[in-house]
Amino acid sequence: MPESDWSQFIPDLIIVIIGTIITAILAGSITYFKIEKVNKWFNKLPKAGGRGAKWLVEKWYLVLPLCTVILLSAIAFRLYGDWKLVTFSLASYIIGLLSWVLFSSRQKLLEKKQATSVVTPKFLPIPISAGFGNSYLKNRYIKPPVGDVILGGVQFRLEKDSMIFDTNESIHYYLPLDDGGKQVDFQLSQSVNRVKSVYLLINSGNSKNIYANRSIGRIRLVFKEAPSIDIELELGENIREWCPGNSGEYIRETSRPETITDVWTGMSKNGAYAVIDCLKIPVYEIMKDCYLEKIIFTHRSFPQPPDTMGVHYSVFGISLEMLEVV
């Protein structure tokens, strides 16, 4: 290159380099520090210009390399006057940018796939169906829990018009037992495996002291090609009166806090203190791959004089705790 061209080119090159460095420093500083005044200034810009300026600031890590490539290409073209070198530089930048975009997209896709395939919901709430339910939760309590609620650390789904199963109400379908009790099957809509525990919102009614420590029913978890798990409902041990605020001699406490816990307190429709308890039924770890098909509820009612009603119980909600996939 002639000396006269060099004398013209070098000052221009210095100005361009200084301007590029200042622009890069300014853009990087704005992005790094996120100055509040600058952000407010950007927000006051016209929508089109503001969005464009914000994009440039947010994507400085893409704009800065592009400016560098353009600057170096201009220097090379001024020195050598070769368009092929300029074209090669821009093509290299575009190829590198596309590779980075594809790599980032693939990483995000893999992370999303792993998140959806590995993580399993911890709880599977099971609503009480109309064929099984025979009463309504709202008819029992004032402002009972509604929606996807967490009670005692367990997720339940209780709709506004949630049905409950009450052995004191008319039961649509049941199997009469030889001892005078009734057996009612609750069939799951789909068999489920990897069940860690079954949780039931449950309480008894007319739980008078004369029936203390007596079995008022049984809950049986039925698995496919595996033995069932039976839990006896013993008044005062793992089940108690739903409305302790009622006057009279009732079983108001339980003796097995490891299996039955108080998860909600409120008021009955009569304005008395009322509760909802949660009963936990663990599933043996060796049965983690067995499929739970149904839950069988058995009710035994033996009125003892002077009482003529006997003890009954109600199931307000069901939830399955699932083993997480690792």
Residue 298 in this model has a pLDDT that exceeds 60: yes
CA pseudo-torsion sign 70, 76, 79, 84: negative
Res 4: pLDDT: 47
Residues 6+ apart with CB under 8 A from 187: 293, 294
Please name the residue that has the structure tokens 């009670």: 151
| Range in 2-6, 88-92, 295-299 the model is least confident about | 2-6
Q: ∠ CA(213), CA(217), CA(220), 5° rounding?
A: 125
Please state the rounded mean pLDDT for residues 322-326: 78
pLDDT, tens digit (0-9, with 9 covering 90-100), for 260-285: 999 999 999 999 999 999 999 999 99
pTM equals 0.64
Res 119: pLDDT: 46
Please state the rounded mean pLDDT for residues 61-87: 64
Q: How far apart are CA 271 and CA 285, in angstroms?
A: 43
- 43 close to 49: Cβ distance less than 8 angstroms: no
Radius of gyration in angstroms for the set of CA atoms belonging to the chain, rounded to a whole number = 36
Q: Which fold, 123-322?
A: Jelly Rolls (2.60.120)
Q: How far apart are CA 264 and CA 285, in angstroms?
A: 29
Mean pLDDT of the chain: 81
pLDDT, tens digit (0-9, with 9 covering 90-100), for 108-126: 666 666 555 444 569 999 9
pLDDT, tens digit (0-9, with 9 covering 90-100), for 38-55: 555 555 555 555 566 666
SS3 state at 244: coil
Q: How far apart are CA 192 and CA 320, in angstroms?
A: 9
Residue ranges covered by each domain of the chain? 3-118, 123-322
